Chain A
Amino acid sequence: MKELQELAAKLLRDQNVQVVIGYEDGPAGVRPAFITDANDAARLIFDPRCVHNLATYLKPQRKHIAKLGKIAIVVKGCDARAVAGLIREQQITRENVIVIAVRCGGVLEKAPAKAAKKVELTEENVSVRCAGCEAREPKLYDYIVGELPTEPPVSSQRAGEIAQLEKMSTAERRKFWDEQFSRCIRCDACREVCPMCFCLQCVALRAQPQWIDSSPTPAANRAWQTMRMLHQAGRCVGCLECERACPKEIPLGLLTRYVAGVVDQRFGYKPCDDPSVPAPMGEIKTDDEEEFIR
């Protein structure tokens, strides 16, 4: 913790960056922090409550943050994949951001407002995304801090969800998702918090032609969520921010995790924090199996 605070203070003092985006204790739990003064660097923290993926703040839409100047950003392994994704897809340039990686021992499924400051991760409270995490020590960084904590427990709560989903017949699955999507109000919170949803003009906002009705009708909700997932295939970093932000508690993480599994199976690709590794949808191979794309 001290190492992180001192590093942030030094970067600001030396004017290497104008803002350090990290985590702090807010009035109701941990939240993103924007440190612009070296004297405030002592507010920075990192522990299992730091669930947020801060890489979202690097998206080109966040003009009000870019205005502050050069950014240093605190990332866990899963967040580093998002920074790599933004570099890979040419939304930011590597040299314009200072990446401060933290060695991570897993985070909570939900960041509870009232939780004590010290939390022990258990099978019940650990995020499902931490199971078997290969990025606890990120490779994409300018600085890396902390010691590598022990491996997190595996979520017992949500481990079997994907298998359950796969066991369903098509009709059952359709029914399940139609019920879930019936709650969707198309507020687009899932898109706005997603680090990889950075299209300046999202297809869901197009009015001429209107590809997807803006009303939260069953057909439009299904179209929106399906389309978002197709656009995320091989790009989603699995941070589960969409699920966390949904005011209607739609289990969007089930979709992202399922799609990630399909991409891994078909293309042998898992999103990683090396921006030079091409994503399956972003690369053309002259020896591709599929004739139509060669």
Chain B
Amino acid sequence: MTNEFLSHASLSSLIAELVATGTRVIAPVQTEDSPDRLEYKPVCSLADAALAAGQPRLSLKELFLPSTEVLLSYRQTKEGVEIREVPTQARPQVILGALPCDAAALEIVDKVMSWDSKDELWLGRREATTIVSILCPVEDSNCFCTAVGVGPDSVRGSDVFLTPVEGGYLAEACTLKGQSLLEGRTADHADPEAIAEAEKAQSAARKKVQENAPAIPAGFSAWLTENFGHPVWNTMALRCHGCGACASVCPTCHCFDIVDEHENATEGVRRRNWDSCQTAKFTLHSSGHNPRPSQSERFRQRIEHKFSVYPRRFGEMLCTGCGRCSRICPGGMNLVEIVGGLISLSASNSGGAGQ
């Protein structure tokens, strides 16, 4: 894991070669309707990419777990049912300019995707992908990655990590995949000035996020479990519409629904679609009973799953502090404020935190 210098020209020719050899290259690009709006999209050259220009509206999740995808198709014949599964091998792709919160999210979700049964589609795409992250410029006051163990300079989930410096990037190969991508592209040793410049930018970015929110204390997860029946779940959930926009933009929300859809009398497909615990339908039983009858239970579920259930099962939080949920929420729910409020409540343990 060494820091090497990667010039703009060298990165540019790397991207051109990847594209020419059939690798899909994804990077943040400015959208047609607004230059302020970025989206991760396929690019043909480095010039198309808007690196470290801000946070793309949606995370990388959709590239690994599409909002809808066919799992298998079936056909009824005289002999029985013919099943055709979809291929689980994916086309090679490189993600250039991933934000550290988005890269880390993939590694966190890997845990559930390779837990009791292996999610071949997710893992197949992960295997075929090389992730080149970049030092995050920090979007705004909704960012809190450092509070959940990530950071604007975190290399988690990245194969290569870039820090912009004069004339190019300081490139760190974090995995073997990253090493082979960079092979022959970098000047062996970056000069000390570039390293100093990079370190300065990294610590400045880190400091900027740290000012938004303190680190989540160790006992938080246990407190959440113990306070499942706390009245704060109702007061904090009041403005929540239950629209689930937070889950759509969240890099770590990964719940899906599986449905069989007939195409005609004998043929059909089995699909999986994104789902969200914020909607009433998510837990609705066929009897009509709903164990999470109102938005307070659904809001609690979102927080408990991210900061208590997932840590208990997998040893880490299901959140990378990207702040997208707070930015998209039509009701003005704010995760920095919510988690901060719950932490102070857990510290005082007096109860009754109101709006």
- The interface of chain A, by Cβ under 8 A from chain B, is 26-37, 40, 52, 56-57, 61-65, 67-68, 113-114, 185-189, 191-193, 205, 213-217, 241, 244-248
Contact = CB atoms under 8 A, between A and B. Distances in A.
B151 interface: no
A215 B327 contact: no
A193 B332 CA distance: 12
A213 B337 CA distance: 37
Contact of B249 (A67, A241, A247): A247
A253 to B, nearest CB: 14
**Residue of B241, B293, B336 most packed against chain A (CB within 10 A):** B241
Given A247-B248, A247-B249, A214 B141 contact: no
Nearest to B70: A215
A35 B235 CA distance: 10
Interface string B312-355: 00000000000000111011101011000000000000000011
Given A32-B239, A34-B238, A189-B243, A27 B296 contact: no
B245 A64 contact: no
A63 B234 CA distance: 10
Contact of A188 (B141, B234, B243, B328): B243
B220 interface: no
Given A28-B326, A31-B332, A216-B273, A189 B245 contact: yes
A217 B68 contact: yes
B130 interface: no
B331 A64 contact: no
Interface string B205-247: 0000000000000000000000000000011011101111101
6 contacts: A28-B332, A31-B332, A37-B354, A64-B294, A187-B243, A187-B244
A189 B330 CA distance: 9
Nearest to B334: A27
A215 B261 contact: yes
A62 B237 CA distance: 10
A40 B238 CA distance: 16
A187 B276 contact: yes
A64 B68 CA distance: 32
A187 B273 CA distance: 10
B243 A193 contact: yes
A59 B249 CA distance: 26
B94 to A, nearest CB: 25
A214 B241 contact: no
Given A34-B355, A61-B280, A64-B296, A193 B140 contact: no
Given A28-B141, A64-B295, A215 B68 contact: yes
**Residue of B237, B257, B334 most packed against chain A (CB within 10 A):** B334
Given A185-B248, A215-B68, A247-B248, A28 B238 contact: no
Q: How large is the interface on B (under 10, 10 to 19, 20 to 34, 35 or more residues)?
A: 35 or more
B259 interface: yes
A36 B354 CA distance: 9
Contacts of B237: 64
A213 B334 contact: no
Nearest to A66: B294
A241 to B, nearest CB: 7
A28 B279 contact: no
What 8 A-B pairs are tightest by C-beta distance, nearest first? Answer: A31-B332, A189-B243, A192-B243, A245-B330, A185-B67, A64-B294, A63-B294, A34-B238
Contacts of B239: 31-34, 57
A192 B273 CA distance: 19
B82 to A, nearest CB: 21
Contact of A114 (B140, B247, B337, B354): B140
A274 to B, nearest CB: 27
B282 to A, nearest CB: 11
Given A192-B242, A214-B257, A247-B245, A62 B295 contact: yes
A213 B259 contact: yes
A279 to B, nearest CB: 24
Contact of A215 (B234, B235, B273): B273
Nearest to A32: B239
B327 A31 contact: no
Given A36-B355, A64-B237, A113-B327, A28 B142 contact: yes
A32 B296 CA distance: 16
A68 to B, nearest CB: 8
B281 interface: yes
A67 B233 CA distance: 13
Given A36-B354, A114-B140, A216-B273, A30 B241 contact: no
Given A34-B239, A189-B330, 5 more contacts: A28-B142, A32-B331, A57-B239, A185-B68, A215-B271
A189 B245 CA distance: 6
Contacts of B280: 61
Contacts of A244: 330
A61 B295 CA distance: 9
**Residue of A34, A40, A62, A215 most packed against chain B (CB within 10 A):** A215
A164 to B, nearest CB: 15
